[in-house]
Amino acid sequence: MTGTTVHLAVYDTFADWEPGYATAQLTRHGHTVRTVGLTAAPVTTMGGSTIRPDLALAELRPEDSGLLILTGASLWDSGDALAPFARAARTFLDAGVPVAAICGATAGLAREGLLDDRRHTSAVSFYLAATGYAGGAHYEDADAVTDAGTRADAMTDSGTHTPRGALVTAGPTEPVAFAREIFGLLGVFGPEKLDAWYRLFHDSDASAYEVLEG
């Protein structure tokens, strides 16, 4: 899949380093990355950079997007300032559009109830448990997890579950695995090249470069 618009949420204390592997390759492979803020006002990242969002959250519509990326930020754990982004994630998933969340954003989704019935991961299980969410039984100790998901409370006329958008989750130390799951979801690489990309950037396996360039 190419030509998709991917939306990257940005906010004060945004963890600069977490989406970089994903957004760089998405752009290289024909996708458009647009930043979304709570408003159109500039934000300051955790690394001290200033980002002026391309659009405000009120303008964001699932039908205009192929993926919503939510990264970590100190604000996820210090109040409800970023809760509107978790609510936006619910809207996306209900519309069948995927969401990818890493680091503190997973806690935001947990508080929103979006991890209660879906496979997921995060930094550690007790980090999410502290949110009081009900999804502990679905936590996986993995670098990153993709859950395709089905809506358990809605059935079609044929008796099948209504699909929800896929959900990618990862912990703060796994930006490469986070990108790998996003690439697989959007079809950026086929299986062989996806594995090679991961080995190159995660394991510094120089032999993987030949597969990528082949």
Residues serving a catalytic function are 103
Q: E-strand spans in 71-195?
A: 99-102, 144-147, 150-155, 161-163, 167-170
C-alpha pair distances (Å), 9 with each of 17, 52, 72, 149, 158:
13, 11, 10, 22, 37
Question: What is the C-alpha to C-alpha distance for residues 22 and 178, in angstroms, rounded to an integer?
Answer: 8
3 Ramachandran zone, left/alpha/beta (phi>0; psi -120 to 50):
left
165 in Cβ contact with 97 (< 8 Å): yes
In a 13 Å sphere around the CA of 169, the CA atoms on its Cβ side amount to 28
Structure tokens at 109: 């989704």
